[in-house]
Amino acid sequence: MPLRDLSKEELYLPGSAACAGCGDGIALRIALKALGKDTIFTVPACCTSVIESSYPNTSFGIPVMNIAFAASAACASGIRAGLRRQGKETQVVVWAGDGATYDIGVASLSGAWERETDFLYICYNNQMYSNTGIQRSGATPFGAWTTTTWKGKEESEKDMIAIAMAHRLPYIATATIGYPEDLHRKVQKAKSIPGPKYIEILSPCPPGWRYDMSKTVEMSKLSIATGVWALLEVEEGNITFNGRSKAILEGKIKPKPVEDWLSEQGRFAHLFKPKRDEERINKFKEIVDQKWQRYREGKL
Amino acid sequence: MKLVMDTANHIAGEAAKAARAEVVAAYPITPQTTVVEYIQKLISNGEFDADFICVESEHSAMAATIGASATGVRTFTATSSHGLLYMHEMLHWAALARLPIVMVNINRTIGPGWNIWADHQDSMAQRDTGWLQFHCGSNQEVFDTVIQSYKIAEAEEIQLPIMVNFDAFILSHTSMPVSIPDQPVIDKFLPKRKPVWKLDSSDPLTHGNIIPPDPYLEIRKSMQESQDKARDLIRTTAEEWKKLTGFWHGGTVEEYRVEDADLVVLAMGTLGSEAKVAVDRLRKERIKAGVFRIRSFRPFPIDEIKKLSEETKLVVVDKALSFGGEGVLYSEVKSALYGRKNEIFGWIAGLGGKDVSWQDLVQMVKAVKDGKAKPVNWQKGGKGAITGFI
């Protein structure tokens, strides 16, 4: 569906407390257009719990249940059961950051997936604990500066999509805010499928990634163009690629050099200044190359 | 009315069914497991119409219960010991979200070393979570208290969760006769829950977002006011239940032979029941003793304790300890009687399930009577049911 045809109804209300240029704000606006009014959010501690603004105000036109950091997927199981008892088919959606998803909440998420709760879990991934002031998470990429990795993270991120696949979910997808039509389509599709669904949205973060707040959409698109992030869907275990990522996979276009993505972000500045750190830049490239090699073999 | 012979764990499951709980979320832990098993069996037989969520931890058990309760339905869960501790964060969440959840906690001690027997360290460590906390002394009381708890928790002026406690194995796995009133009697006493707030897409609200200090303080104050209001409601609800069923276990406390007592034993759970046996023995020896069995630890029955004469000597027996402080109940009683002349003696006893028999309690009372007790005393370890003091 082209952008101009998306619902005109705004369920992510104006006046939110998001930072200027927040990727999550864009993700919320587009996803809520696809989800519609008959939706309940449960939100763990994350940027969104700030973005939703302070009592007695709210940034949401749908019901929102805030819940403790590790607890959102379990809370969703409870909400679904309570609604089922009342014969309501409202969409139950967890909206969580990568810290809640990859780290502290992964056990409760795995539990909700295993017991096949009918809900959509959306992780907006800004690759760090942004809300608490930029600390390393399980989603932080190799080499990135954070306030807990002052010289750059020494490990690579974990593969949350593979973890989701290990639960054999009926629908898994990745998206990013630079491609809102793709995001909208995926949320709509997830909405139509019963059972547990997982969508992960790469959401660039100006204060965390250290780039100018006007460049969030560019950063998102650059993540796809360089192959650092890929747009894909997993249905019944089959992986398909979308948009530019599909063209990269099929060799129709060459990905841009990863340095284009790295060098735009202050969090990787130490890889280039005071002098170029060939070893770590090459390691970063290798991680991305290996990922695409697995993609070409039909694996994650 | 149906008379059954069963364990407190099964009776707790019967009570959840009789209360028409709609969503149950729980995780197994000894000695709570037979509650979970029994409810699952009732549901799969079609005898209990509820959705059971098999969660992967107690933290999630309470999170799922919170989620379900927030949609407006009646919820139930059960746990014990480390399970209760693992829930701790979510216990606060449930109370602060003003959700009238009812949970059974089977009092079991804390490791290491591993030990599955009864003491009160688990529930006492949840003192400040905002939950109302009741302690039972018999299987009949477990049934009656679970039903009454829903009525109290769901009252518009309360809207707080309630933890119904009973002792591991001493009640959880011990069969006792229990009378279960007919369902129409229970339905009349406990109508369908009317939620004060709920998650409903036709009337959206954001619950629990960032709150500035001023309204935060006011909202927390309203929780304390609800706890205070619960004191009367606990008594009147128990009186209403007595009218309907004939069963009475006391209001916030069960008083036993206290009218003319010079010495009163204060204890909770089955220890309070055991104390009645001790008091009967002491009375035979013309020692005027009585029992104050604390049924409601939160809210704490301050006014009832203050009704005791200033001449009464109090023997507080704790199955839990605030390390570096003193017995938890002992502190509470002293605080309630601040500024009064009562002599108050404390015993730390029964930790890790060490038996505290009526003989032990008789000795404690006699030690106070004979002026041999210190302000704080410890039950001695070692062999045998009858134990001395340090």
How deeply is A159 buried, as exposed, middle or buried, from its count of CB atoms within 10 A (0-12, 13-18, 19+)?
Answer: middle
- Residue A296: other Cβ atoms inside 10 A: 11
Residues of B in contact with A72 (CB under 8 A): 63
CATH class of A3-296: alpha beta
pLDDT digits (tens, 9 = 90+) for B149-187: 999 999 999 999 999 999 999 999 999 999 999 999 999
Q: Do B67 and A82 touch (CB under 8 A)?
A: yes
Report the mean per-residue pLDDT for chain A. Answer: 97
Give B132-142 pLDDT, tens digit per residue.
999 999 999 99
CA of A164, closest CA in chain B: separation in Å? 17
Give the residue from A36, A28, A13, A30 showing the smallest Cα distance to B202: A36
pTM over 0.90: yes
Q: Find the CB nearest B53 among A71, A77, A110.
A: A77
Of A216, A250, A245, the residue nearest A231 (C-alpha): A245
Taking CA–CA distances from A112, the nearest residue in chain B reads: B55
Q: Inter-chain contact A67–B199, Cβ cutoff 8 Å?
A: no
Strands B263-267 and B289-294: parallel
H helices present in A193-277, as ranges: 206-209, 216-225, 243-249, 258-262
Are the beta carbons of A63 and B66 separated by less than 8 Å? no
Q: Which two tokens stand for residue B61?
A: 């058990």
* Three-state DSSP state, B138: coil
pLDDT tens-digit readout, B77-124: 999 999 999 999 999 999 999 999 999 999 999 999 999 999 999 999
For chain A, give every domain's residue range. 3-296
Residues of B in contact with A80 (CB under 8 A): 67
Taking an 8 Å cut-off on Cβ atoms, the answer to whether B209 and A58 are in contact is: yes
Question: Would you say residue B347 has pLDDT above 50?
Answer: yes
Name the strands in the sheet holding B344-348, side by side, starting at the edge strand that comes first in the sequence.
Answer: B253-256, B289-294, B263-267, B313-318, B344-348, B376-378
Q: What percent of the residues of chain B are helix, what percent strand, and what percent coil, each to the nearest 5?
A: 40, 20, 40
State the number of CA atoms in the 13 A half-sphere of B290 facing the CB: 19
Mean pLDDT of A33-44: 98
Mean pLDDT of A122-134: 97
Other CB atoms within a 10 A radius of the CB of residue A274 amount to 6
- The SS3 assignment for B340 reads coil
Residue B203 burial (10 A CB sphere; 0-12, 13-18, 19+): exposed
Whether the predicted pLDDT of B385 surpasses 50: no
Smallest Cα distance from B145 to chain A, Å: 24
A65, A67, A85 member nearest B51 (Cβ):
A85
Q: Enumerate the residues of chain B whose CB falls inside 8 A of the CB of residue A111.
A: 55-57, 60
CA distance A281 to B138: 69
pLDDT at B384 (0 to 100) = 47
Query: How far, in Å, CA of B353 to CA of B164, rounded?
Result: 19
**Look-up of token digits 């200090």:** B213
Choose, out of A85, A113, A191, the residue to mutate when testing the contact with B (most B CBs < 10 Å): A85
Rg of chain B in Å (alpha carbons): 21
> Does residue A216 register a pLDDT over 60?
yes
User: If contacts are CB pairs under 8 Å, which of residues 66-125 in chain A contact chain B?
Assistant: 66-68, 70-86, 88, 90, 107-108, 110-111, 114-115
Amino acid at residue number A83 = L
| A70–B59 C-beta distance less than 8 A | yes
HSE (CB half, 13 Å, CA atoms) of A262? 26
By CB atoms closer than 10 A (0-12, 13-18, 19+), residue A89 is exposed
Q: Which domains does chain B have, with CATH numbers?
A: 2-245 (3.40.50.970), 253-378 (3.40.50.920)
pLDDT at residue B123, rounded to an integer: 98
Are the beta carbons of A82 and B69 separated by less than 8 Å? yes
- Chain B residues whose C-beta is within 8 A of a chain A C-beta are 22-23, 25, 51, 53-57, 59-61, 63-73, 75, 89-90, 93, 199-201, 203-212, 215
Structure tokens at A98: 């990568």
Q: Which residue has the tokens 């998206």?
A: A175
The pLDDT, as a whole number, for residue A236 is 87
Place of tokens 């990863």: A258
Evaluate if residue B390 carries a pLDDT over 50. Answer: no
A86/B212 CB distance under 8 A: no
Specify whether the CB–CB gap between B272 and B246 falls below 8 A: no
- By CB atoms closer than 10 A (0-12, 13-18, 19+), residue B112 is exposed
Across the interface, of A54, A64, A88, the residue whose CB is closest to B207 is: A64
A·B CB contacts under 8 A: 165
Q: With CB atoms and an 8 Å threshold, state whether B22 touches A82.
A: yes
Measured CA to CA, the distance from residue A185 to residue A201 in angstroms comes to 13
User: What span, in angstroms and rounded, lies between the C-alpha atoms of A59 and A49?
Assistant: 10
Q: Which residues of chain B lie closer than 8 angstroms to A49, CB-CB?
A: 209-210
Spell out the residues 6+ positions from residue B60 whose beta carbon is closer than 8 angstroms to its own. A71, A73, A74, A77, A107, A108, A111, B25, B27
Chain B CB contacts of A74 under 8 Å are: 25, 55-57, 59-61, 63-64, 67
On whether the CB atoms of residues A95 and A48 are closer than 8 A, the answer is yes
CB within 8 Å: B64 and A63: no
Chain A residues close to B57, C-beta within 8 Å: 74, 107-108, 111
A56 reaches B (C-beta below 8 A): yes
What ipTM does the predicted assembly reach?
A: 0.97
The length of chain B in residues reads 390
Q: Report the amino acid identity of residue A211.
A: Y
Cα dihedral A147, A151, A152, A154, rounded to 10, equals -110
Assign residue A70 a region: left if phi > 0, alpha if psi is -120 to 50, beta otherwise?
Answer: alpha
Q: How far is A80 from chain B (nearest CA, A)?
A: 7
Rounded CA-CA distance A140/A135 in Å is 9
Q: What number is the average pLDDT over the span B264-274?
A: 97
Say if residue A296's pLDDT is above 50.
yes
- Interface touch B25/A114, C-beta < 8 Å: no
Residue B342 CA: distances (Å) to CA of B288, B333, B378: 16, 10, 21
Average pLDDT over residues A174-202: 98
Average pLDDT score, chain B: 96
The mean pLDDT of A266-295, rounded to a whole number, is 97
Q: Do A79 and B70 touch (CB under 8 A)?
A: yes
Report the distance separating Cα A133 and Cα A152, nearest Å. 16
- Mean pLDDT of all residues in B62-67: 98
- Rounded Cα gap, residues A274 and A284, in angstroms: 18
Residue where the block lists tokens 């039509």 = A181
B71·A83 Cβ contact <8 A = yes
Q: What's the pLDDT at B383? A: 53
